[in-house]
Amino acid sequence: MNEYEIAILFDPGLEVDMDQATKKVEKILTDNGGKITNTDNWGKKKLAYTIKKHDSAVYVFYTVSIPGESVRRIESILNITDEVIRFLIVRPDLKAIAKAEAEKTRKAEQAAKRGDRDDREDDEK
Amino acid sequence: MAKIFKHRTDVAYFDYKDFKTLQRYVDQYGRIETRKKTGLTESQQRHLAVAIKRARHIGLLPFVAMA
């Protein structure tokens, strides 16, 4: 089982009844041995360019544990799912994320020591 | 050549979902800026490029802007 991050772009026409579409996708994931640990719904967003003749889409991000061998099967099923206009499956670089988080907290501590104003970013100085 | 950031950023990770940050590393035509301009290390620049390409795939960033 590996952790994957799956971004799904739903047909914007389904926004009124998203439940059915999300359930369908979640079923695809769980049916193939996946365990959804987190979902992040961004709602309807304008696309930077048209995808399948749509200029907006409903963005939903899933964090899922999937056995590696079923990823290809999930990909092929998502490809023929009409509700999904585009998807992306990636393995997040957990090491890099942890490192970035550690760096952030270290910096925050340092800033607190110096008594910096926390409403100002470093770049703006 | 003016750098986007004066100091090297110690961002260890570029997230493809964080398109607001990625946007600062592409020019007005949507092209990825060179290392000369971004001032990133080689590996940071590679990770940045991957993140931007992923963001393009899911429609968060344009492949070609103002076409």
- List the domain boundaries for chain B: 1-67
CA A50 from chain center: how many Å? 20
Q: The pTM is what? A: 0.82
Q: Who contacts A46 (Cβ-Cβ below 8 Å, separation ≥6)?
A: A55, A56
Q: How far apart are CA B10 and CA B39, in angstroms?
A: 11
Q: How confident is the model at residue A114 (pLDDT cuts 50, 70, 90)?
A: confident
Whether residue B26 contacts residue B52, with contact meaning beta carbons closer than 8 Å, is answered with yes
Best A11, A61, A99, A123 member to test B by mutation, with max B CBs in 10 Å, is: A123
Query: What kind of fold does domain B1-67 have according to CATH?
Result: 30s Ribosomal Protein S18 (4.10.640)
Chain B environment of A57 (Cβ under 8 Å): 59
Residue A125 pLDDT level (bands cut at 50, 70, 90): very low
Digit-coded pLDDT (tens) for B28-54: 999 999 998 888 889 889 999 999 999
Question: Which residues does chain B have within 8 Å of residue A49's beta carbon, measured at their own beta carbons?
Answer: 59, 62-64
Architecture of domain A2-92: 2-Layer Sandwich (3.30)
Give ipTM to 2 decimals. Answer: 0.79
